[in-house]
Chain A
Amino acid sequence: MAEKLLEWHFSFFAMGSPCQLRIYLEEKEEAEEVSYRIQSEVARLEQLYSRYRDDSVVTKINRSAGKAALTVDPETAGLLDYAQTVYEQSDGLFDITSGILRSAWDFKSGIFPEPVQIEKILPLVDWSMVEWNSPNIRLPEIGMELDFGGYVKEYAVDAAARLCGELGVSHGMIDLGGDIHIIGPHPDGSAWHVGIRNPRSPEDAIVSVDLQSGAIASSGDYERFMEVDGKRYCHILNPKTGWPCEGLAAVAVAAPICLLAGTASTIAMLKGREAGPEWLKELGLPYFWVATDGESGGDLV
């Protein structure tokens, strides 16, 4: 049986990132069908939760800010419940209302926003103000916005991996822009070799991990940033200060599902140089961190 399995590799672009699907199946047609279904599922989630799309659920919620409550479907409700849990568990650091802060930050310009700009936005950032009574949601202030960008890609990875399993794939992996879920080991039982990006040279791996199952996700200051006076200011913004997180350059976390791994690594980034690694140690998932001063730690590798 196993000798007939061939590896199929599909590259595509979704959710603003290069993605790849690697699966073992006997027939090319089968593999193409799985790839089509996976890409459709990712596209479905992108369409539902992208704030750049006019027809997305997120856009609808954001447009109704300050108006009447909106009823959402069960999947969106699940994601909002998750946002609520993450907000509570991160003491308010992971906050899906914080996306609007990005309007103050232009990372291409290399110029800091005026303090008054941030002061104007901060009152619109706080998940606890959102009236979320599943399945009804209401953003009480005009201008408030939700942004699922902080975790929908990870959720999509998990959904895609689950779908692969349902479609009969038992060996493979899915990678959406560095968020990875292992569907199953190579047919000979060997693990997948997964590299974690070096935050100062993102094309290279700083360390690599062998994974037979589960997921891995990382956050870092390398995705979008600007440097001012030699200091890097990245796109992960603290909802309490309105300023980029500091201290850590990258965090990777492994977990049974990618959504957990992704939120844990983002929370650690936001907690910073001292509290981040401490929190990860408490959390109980394998992790790895690199600080901006070059130091690193964790038990993942």
Chain B
Amino acid sequence: MSAGNGQKKKASRTLIALAGSALGLPGISGKALAVTQGEAEVDYSYSLYQEEDMPREKQSGATSDTERYTIDTHQLRVVRPWGDTYDLTVDLLYETMSGASPWYVLPNPDPNQSEKPLQVMSGASGIEDTRKDVLAKVRKIYDDSAGAVSLGYSTEDDYTSVNMALEGVWELDDKQKTVTLGIGGSDDDIEPVDTHRFPGRVEHETKTSISAYAGLSMVIDAQTIVQSSVSFTRQNGFLSDPYKLAFVSGTLVQDSRPDGREQFTWLTRLRRFFPEWLGALHADYRFYDDDWGVESHTIDLGWHQNFSGQLQLIPSIRYYTQSQAYFYAPYYNAPRNDNFASSDYRLSPYGALSFRLDAVKKIGTWAFRLGWEMYDSDSDLAIKSVKVENPGLIEFSNFRISISKYF
């Protein structure tokens, strides 16, 4: 400051007290990027996910369209500060699923239709399952860093999972950069249902997963933030789907996949605010590659438009494309040498487009969000051209509503 007579002054205790208090104000400090103690918050959200029916003509021996999955999800999140330097987050999830899912794929008996294999659905009478999930996270906040430990437990009728993660966040260069490092692991038990009815089905299997990730977030200028992260995951154990079968030269065999999988992901996000539009562009790109031969690219573009009255509308579009797992086939004319077999549409070559529209309205310390998504997948959107499309590819809509209260 050029004002004053040049004499160096010592800040009094009064000045230190006043300045300390003033600097805590959001208007003066601006919103800090990452390392701040969480404000107390409660969120509830409900979502309804509904897959389109499997049409009769894509199925073998079906007399009508078959209802696929419907998933109802209730989620509750509570964040509360704990002392001056800790915060605690608890997430609860309750989910019910019902409907039929793809069981196996048969070659089309009509030789002129060999490019259109037929789907057989399981549980046409209706699979029902419930998932309960709890995750608790404790964070300790230091001046320019934070450390977090989280512990989670998830259970379904045929599945239990315990997971744990450690994360550290460091702010560098006067909060212009944020570095995040984390490791995590999970231990899952799989106990499929109805094994007495399906003798080939496994009774009890396990799998473990460990992952590590590193991320960097940078403030480029007043309007632009870029985040980039890489993660690596190693899964071991039973990675097949106990409920799926594959058609191999005239017989049905259990879905069978390698007992290890290494996955690599690179994600980059760009956030740019355009003051002249009072809107922000969110552009994300994700690259995924694993040692099963699945490679995928995702591009997600969203526009966050602010309107007066604390209203925000967010239209967005996502494009996804992947290649198939090396051992995947819709059906097999001969067994593979390694004996792997899977006709799961998620391992097939395909791509997808999804459109979303979200609206957020804030009223005082409340926030309301409504969202709707429409998703369609197709083999024409795969990385390479595909001769035989998996008949199980899905189309779904997802509706979501949430209410948040900040304290």
Contacts and interface: CB of A to CB of B under 8 A. Distances in A.
A75 B10 CA distance: 30
Interface in A248-301: 254, 256-257, 259-260, 263-264, 282-286, 299-300
Main secondary structure of the interface of A (DSSP, over half): helix
A211 B222 CA distance: 24
Contacts of B199: none
Given A73-B365, A286-B1, A162 B18 contact: no
A168 interface: yes
A248 B255 CA distance: 88
A204 interface: no
B143 interface: no
A31 B281 CA distance: 21
B222 A167 contact: yes
B407 A211 contact: no
Contacts of B276: 29-30, 33
| Most chain A CB neighbours (cut-off 10 Å) among B9, B221, B275, B278 | B275
A88 B14 CA distance: 9
Contact of A166 (B5, B26, B28, B222): B222
Nearest to A37: B275
A97 interface: no
Contact of A168 (B29, B223, B364): B223
Given A71-B365, A166-B222, A81 B7 contact: no
A168 B224 CA distance: 11
A285 B22 contact: no
Contact of A285 (B15, B27, B28, B30): B15
B18 A89 contact: yes
A214 B2 CA distance: 9
Interface string B14-35: 1101111111111111100000
Nearest to A279: B14
B347 to A, nearest CB: 46
B18 A85 contact: yes
B57 interface: no
A156 B27 contact: yes
B9 A284 contact: yes
A162 B29 CA distance: 8
Interface in A139-168: 155-156, 158-159, 162, 165-168
Contact of A89 (B10, B14, B25, B278): B14
B284 to A, nearest CB: 23
A81 B406 CA distance: 18
A74 B17 CA distance: 19
Interface in B135-174: none
Contact of A75 (B9, B12, B20, B27): B27
Interface string A85-104: 11011000000000000000
Contacts of A86: 18, 21
25 contacts: A33-B276, A37-B278, A73-B406, A78-B25, A85-B18, A85-B20, A88-B17, A156-B27, A165-B222, A166-B223, A167-B222, A211-B1, A212-B2, A256-B1, A256-B19, A257-B19, A259-B28, A260-B15, A282-B12, A284-B11, A284-B12, A285-B9, A285-B15, A286-B9, A300-B3
Given A73-B364, A282-B14, 5 more contacts: A74-B39, A75-B27, A158-B25, A168-B222, A260-B18
